[in-house]
Amino acid sequence: MNKLAVVALGGNALLRGNQKGTVEEQNQNTIDTLENLIFLVKEGYDVIIAHGNGPQVGNILMRNDAGEQLYNIPQMPLDIDVADSQGGIGYMIERNLRNVLKANGIEKDVVTLVTQVVVDKNDPAFADPIKRVGRIYSREEADELIADKGWIFKEEVKADGGWRRVVPSPKPIRVINEKVIENLARQGNIVITVGGGGVPVSEDESGNLCPVEAVIDKDLASALIGARVKADEFYILTDVSFVYKDFKGPNEEKLEFLNHADTLGYLEDGTFAEGSMAPKIRACLSFIENGGGKSVITEATKLEDKSYGTKITMEYDPKDVNHIA
């Protein structure tokens, strides 16, 4: 049986922060990213692709806002917006990946799944929404939306200030259709799933699925599906080649090989910044804690070069200089 890898692409793999977000820009970014994944396919891996949606779902929310203000088009709830982004991004990845595979002489089917992810309706995150979404509003606009829609806002500390909507980010506990995802991947298909962390749903007392106004961390959801399908390796592709201790500080240190205990220690000591590397580290730890063999954080363009990337395994002894992860 082939090794199975789950690869999590950041939202900036499709849309970069300094770009307008045109379809031409996103298509080219997607192609550039996917060309670096072909290495795994050529190495004989079965592959599951997950992806972020931060910039894209933000744009959807702003379009909703403009449509309501200008044309009285009702806004769609956040779960529908996440599903919209899954479909659009999944289509873009699938179409471009089929072309990249063809250019490399590889015959494989690619399947995109609009994926629901179950969260606990009693998750503590619902009492403390922190994930900022959508555009920045004035205090007056925010007050109107609080009264009209019951939204929660926090003041922006960047740019020119203002107020921004915040929503909960609960922990993912189960992926709908996870057995289908595993079967498709083990049959040699490349599966695109849990986009943007998945469409958040909860279960009521009767076991029915209910929509949730929340967003799920993409890396945690990717680690979860990796563990549930018994993947061998988990890759988070980001904009740095390694994880660093004291990143950009006077005592910056590259961390290439880490075991579970040391990684957890660094995390608990605050070595990794919240809002950037810490969530990725938690996802990597979750994957190996639940049976995964190896987690890797690296830059997409460095995937083929095994001298790059921070590798996290359960038992590796950092003093063993002969170890190859």
Residue 250 in tokens:
């006077």
* Residue 64, pLDDT score: 95
User: What are the catalytic residues?
Assistant: 11-12, 131, 218, 280
Given a cut of 80, whether residue 136 has pLDDT beyond it is: yes
Distance (Å, rounded) from C-alpha 197 to C-alpha 193?
A: 9
Biggest CA pair distance of the chain = 65
Q: Which residue ranges make up each domain of the chain?
A: 4-119+175-323
What's the CATH fold of domain 4-119+175-323?
Carbamate kinase (3.40.1160)
257-315 confidence digits (pLDDT tens): 999 999 999 999 999 999 889 999 999 999 999 999 999 999 988 888 888 999 999 98
Give the DSSP letter string of 88-142.
HHHHHHHHHHHHHHHHTT----EEE---EEEE-TT-GGGGS--EEEEEEE-HHHH
Contact predicate 323/317, CB 8 Å: yes
* Residue 217, pLDDT score: 96
Given a cut of 50, whether residue 324 has pLDDT beyond it is: no
| Interacting residues of 211 by C-beta distance below 8 A, sequence separation 6+ | 77, 79, 80, 199, 200, 201
Q: Predicted confidence band at 318 (pLDDT cuts at 50, 70, 90)? A: low
Distance (Å, rounded) from C-alpha 263 to C-alpha 286?
A: 12
| Interacting residues of 93 by C-beta distance below 8 A, sequence separation 6+ | 9, 14, 30, 34, 49, 51, 112, 192
* Residue 304, pLDDT score: 87
Residue 196 in tokens:
């943007």
Q: Where are the beta strands (DSSP E) in 138-245?
A: 152-155, 163-167, 172-175, 190-192, 199-203, 209-211, 233-238, 243-245
Percentage of residues of the chain with pLDDT beyond 70: 96
Among 43-47, 81-85, 186-190, 247-251, which is the least confidently predicted range?
247-251
CA 63 vs. chain centroid, Å, equals 22
* Residue 37, pLDDT score: 93
Distance (Å, rounded) from C-alpha 196 to C-alpha 139?
A: 29
User: Tokens 């619902």 sit at which residue?
Assistant: 126
75-94 confidence digits (pLDDT tens): 999 999 999 999 999 999 99
